[in-house]
């Protein structure tokens, strides 16, 4: 009975129509509110980390982010596949809820906050659903620009949020920041529930779910059947591994090891966000001028440069330069996501984006372990990883070749599947 009641509740939630026709603007609001709430907590989290784990700050930061990333890797294919079956709205509601769930825990107990933050990775993988939603409501010509807008919106949420969170913390205390972040995240959940319309028509949804769709390791093995997607996934791993490590450790590193104050760190994050917005808004134009493959390579070269700067720099101005170059390199992931979307149809878009997000989750799990120290070694390791990614990305076919390869591969796959269905005597 409880199971039937839960199913009825989920169906009811998914049936709420939302406001207007589904469009990219709906998910842009979701992304902005989600990361604005977490951006408010940037400085309070660093202070809480230092207070809770004074002797093992970087180690525990890496552990929390690592567990969360590994759980995201394990669950992302399932989330993507479920969105292909039950629609994007229901899964977006679930993932946004679990992403925001740890925020109010900061007022209860620091240990509970970090524990729930780690566990929230099980369902806190909203980006796979967001990218699938964007693919549902855009044409392939519009998709690159739309992915750039999603990435720019993520950056926009960080323009004032860290500085605002730090200001509120100094004036009114950390609990006030947590309260405001909780209200923002709750508003986001309500917005998804009442305002976001479903983007995936029932007629193009997948018929059912199999364990093969949900198993992240089988998903990785299936990638090998298409050499272009396999190559892209390896490239994603090579550049996201150091990127995830930086994301989890660099703010704390700059504050605790390089002497950045909260105000200066907030200014750096804001400036980086503005640069990131600018280049991601321009992503559609960049791809039109130089192509998707060269856009990916451009982002990789910029990431390589900023990792080298972090590795050899010992002055604040070098950290500022590295941060700004890092902001410009943020075009890489949306460019890859747009490229990958060429290989999937509407009914499998969630599964494909879930696979890429799963790879991101794996890097989010392993990256913090690599960057749990403050020495130059991890940054040089990251630079070598990105350099290998550049070499591999050079073998990715351009867009026209990729489309042709996809059509040939789909035809071959259909023939193989038909042969497998013929019973043997």
The answer to whether 346 and 203 have CB atoms below 8 angstroms apart is no
What is the per-residue DSSP string for 335-394?
A: HHHHHHGGG--GGGHHHHHHHHHHHHHHHHHHHHHHTSS-SSHHHHHHHHHHHHHHHHHT
Q: Compute φ and ψ for 395, nearest 5 degrees.
A: -95, -5
Q: Is there a domain that residue 17 lies in?
A: no
Q: Is there a domain that residue 119 lies in?
A: yes
Q: Is there a domain that residue 228 lies in?
A: yes
Q: Is there a domain that residue 393 lies in?
A: yes
Which distant-in-sequence residues (6+ apart) come within 8 Å of 203 by Cβ? none
Q: Is there a domain that residue 421 lies in?
A: no
The answer to whether 237 and 358 have CB atoms below 8 angstroms apart is no
Q: Is there a domain that residue 233 lies in?
A: yes
Range of the domain at 400: 22-200+212-413
Q: Tens digit of pLDDT per residue, the chain (425 long)?
A: 455 555 566 556 666 677 888 889 999 999 999 989 988 988 788 777 777 777 766 667 667 776 777 777 777 777 777 777 788 888 888 888 888 888 888 877 777 777 777 777 777 677 778 888 888 888 877 877 888 888 888 878 877 788 888 889 889 988 899 999 999 999 999 999 999 998 888 776 666 665 565 666 666 566 556 677 778 888 888 888 888 777 666 776 777 777 787 778 878 878 888 888 888 888 878 888 888 888 899 999 999 998 898 888 778 888 888 888 988 888 888 888 777 765 555 445 555 556 666 677 667 667 766 665 555 677 888 899 999 999 999 988 876 555 555 554 444 343 334 343 444 33
Asked whether the whole model's pTM tops 0.75, one would answer no
281: domain CATH number is 1.20.1250.20
Q: Is there a domain that residue 11 lies in?
A: no
Q: Could you give the number of structural domains in the chain?
A: 1
Choose among 233, 235, 212: nearest CA to 223.
233
The answer to whether 280 and 152 have CB atoms below 8 angstroms apart is yes
Q: Is there a domain that residue 206 lies in?
A: no
């Amino acid at each position: 009975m409880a199971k039937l009641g839960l199913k009825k509740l989920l169906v009811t939630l998914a049936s709420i129509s939302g406001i207007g026709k589904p469009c990219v603007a709906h998910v842009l609001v979701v992304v902005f509110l989600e990361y604005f709430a977490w951006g408010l907590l940037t400085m309070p989290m660093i202070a809480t980390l230092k207070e809770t784990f004074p002797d093992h700050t970087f180690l525990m930061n890496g552990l929390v982010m690592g567990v969360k990333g590994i759980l995201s890797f394990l669950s992302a294919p399932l989330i993507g596949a479920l969105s292909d079956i039950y629609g994007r709205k229901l899964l977006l509601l679930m993932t946004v809820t679990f992403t925001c769930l740890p925020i109010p825990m900061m007022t209860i107990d620091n240990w509970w906050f970090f524990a729930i933050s780690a566990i929230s990775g099980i369902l806190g993988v909203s980006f796979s659903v967001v990218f699938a939603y964007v693919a549902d409501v855009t044409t392939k010509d519009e998709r690159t620009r739309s992915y750039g807008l999603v990435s720019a919106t993520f950056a926009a949420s960080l323009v004032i949020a860290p500085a605002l969170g730090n200001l509120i913390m100094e004036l009114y205390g950390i609990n006030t920041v947590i309260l405001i972040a909780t209200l923002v995240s709750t508003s986001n959940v309500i917005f998804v529930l009442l305002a976001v319309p479903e983007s995936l028509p029932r007629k193009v949804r997948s018929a059912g779910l199999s364990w093969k769709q949900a198993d992240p390791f089988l998903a990785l093995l299936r990638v090998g059947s298409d050499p272009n997607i396999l190559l892209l996934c390896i490239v994603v791993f090579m550049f996201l591994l150091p990127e995830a490590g930086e994301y989890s450790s660099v703010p704390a590193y700059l504050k605790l090891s390089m002497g950045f104050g909260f105000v200066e760190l907030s200014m750096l994050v804001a400036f980086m966000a503005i640069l990131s917005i600018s280049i991601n808004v321009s992503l559609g134009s960049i791809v039109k001028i130089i192509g998707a493959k060269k856009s990916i390579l451009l982002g990789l070269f910029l990431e390589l440069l900023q990792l080298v700067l972090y590795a050899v720099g010992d002055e604040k101005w070098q950290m500022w330069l590295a941060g700004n170059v890092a902001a410009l390199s943020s075009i890489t992931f949306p460019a890859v996501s747009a490229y990958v979307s060429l290989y999937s149809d509407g009914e499998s878009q969630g599964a494909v984006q879930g696979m890429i997000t799963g790879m991101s989750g794996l890097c989010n799990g392993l990256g913090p372990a690599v960057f749990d120290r403050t020495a130059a070694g991890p940054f040089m390791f990251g630079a070598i990883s990105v350099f290998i990614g550049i070499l591999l990305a050079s073998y990715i076919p351009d867009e026209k070749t990729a489309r042709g390869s996809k059509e040939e591969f789909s035809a071959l796959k259909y023939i193989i599947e038909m042969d497998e269905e013929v019973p043997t005597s």
